């Protein structure tokens, strides 16, 4: 089983804001999987802490499926760890945080259109990620850090900037990143994170 978490803030007023790029990535991923014959949507869950959509992924015909949970915390960003901890508590003994938990989130230190894949890394000041680390007691999980900062910089306080919406061109640029996430996850499922990460960096670096 894999749990893929997209970080953001719940509520209409936060839709398409920079801090919600994790939610946007999961929306894109769900659309892709619904049109992919290797993935079958099998259920949904909604509670006070999170909403989730579950898929079964079939590596090959006739082989047992692997459960994939797409999780969007319904707490605010700074309390994202509550949702992640709740979900992982019921994941079973076979669930390994270091390889089976994937967190997708915004990154101020990367330009828009860029992505960095990390394992066992500090939060680098991201409050949502830090809360996950604090409540799980470990930073050993996979992170997809999506750049949200224009080349010209932000020109305002970070806490104000992350709540601004993406313009139409920026949303188009982000879809290229989301497409890379779909491809990278597919490689991760078939192999491992190092293989997936190397393939991603080779693709973006020519």
Per-residue pLDDT, 154: 85
Give how many domains the chain has, as a whole number.
Answer: 1
Check if the beta carbon of residue 187 is closer than 8 Å to that of residue 202. no
Report the 3 state secondary structure along 28-79: HHHHHHHCCCCEEEEEEEECCCEEEEEEEECCCCCCCCEEEEEEEECCCHHH
d(CA 146, CA 178): 9
The pTM of this model reads: 0.95
- Concerning whether 19 is annotated as a catalytic residue, the answer is yes
For residue 91, give the CATH number of its domain.
3.40.50.1470
Within 10 Å of residue 181's Cβ, how many Cβ atoms? 23
Structural domain for 191, as ranges: 2-204
* pLDDT, one tens digit for every residue, the chain (206 residues): 999 999 999 999 999 999 999 999 999 999 999 999 999 999 999 999 999 999 999 987 767 789 999 999 999 999 999 999 999 988 877 899 999 999 999 999 999 999 999 999 999 999 999 999 999 999 999 999 999 999 888 888 988 999 999 999 999 999 999 999 999 999 999 999 999 999 899 888 75
Q: What is the C-alpha separation between 159 and 149, in angstroms, rounded?
A: 13
Spot the catalytic one: 19, 105, 111, 127: 19
Query: What pLDDT, on a 0 to 100 scale, did the predictor assign at position 206?
Result: 56
For residue 109 the two structure tokens come to: 């230190």
């Amino acid at each position: 089983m894999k749990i893929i978490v997209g970080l953001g803030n719940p509520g209409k007023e936060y839709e398409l804001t920079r801090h919600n790029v994790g939610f946007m990535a999961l929306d894109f991923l769900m659309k892709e999987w619904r049109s992919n014959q290797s993935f079958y949507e099998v259920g949904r869950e909604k509670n006070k802490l999170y909403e989730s959509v579950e898929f079964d992924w079939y590596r090959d015909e006739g082989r047992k499926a692997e459960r994939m949970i797409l999780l969007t915390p319904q707490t605010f960003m700074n309390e994202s760890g509550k949702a992640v901890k709740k979900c992982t508590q019921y994941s079973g003994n076979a669930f390994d945080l270091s390889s089976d938990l994937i967190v997708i989130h915004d990154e101020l230190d990367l330009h828009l259109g860029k992505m960095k894949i990390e394992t066992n890394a500090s939060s680098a000041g991201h409050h949502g990620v830090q809360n996950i680390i604090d409540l799980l007691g470990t930073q050993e999980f996979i992170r997809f850090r999506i750049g949200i900062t224009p080349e010209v910089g932000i020109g305002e306080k970070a806490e104000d900037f992350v709540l601004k919406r993406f313009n139409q061109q920026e949303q188009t640029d982000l879809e290229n990143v989301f497409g890379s996430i779909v491809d990278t996850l597919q490689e991760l499922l078939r192999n491992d994170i190092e293989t997936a990460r190397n393939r991603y960096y080779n693709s973006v670096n020519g």
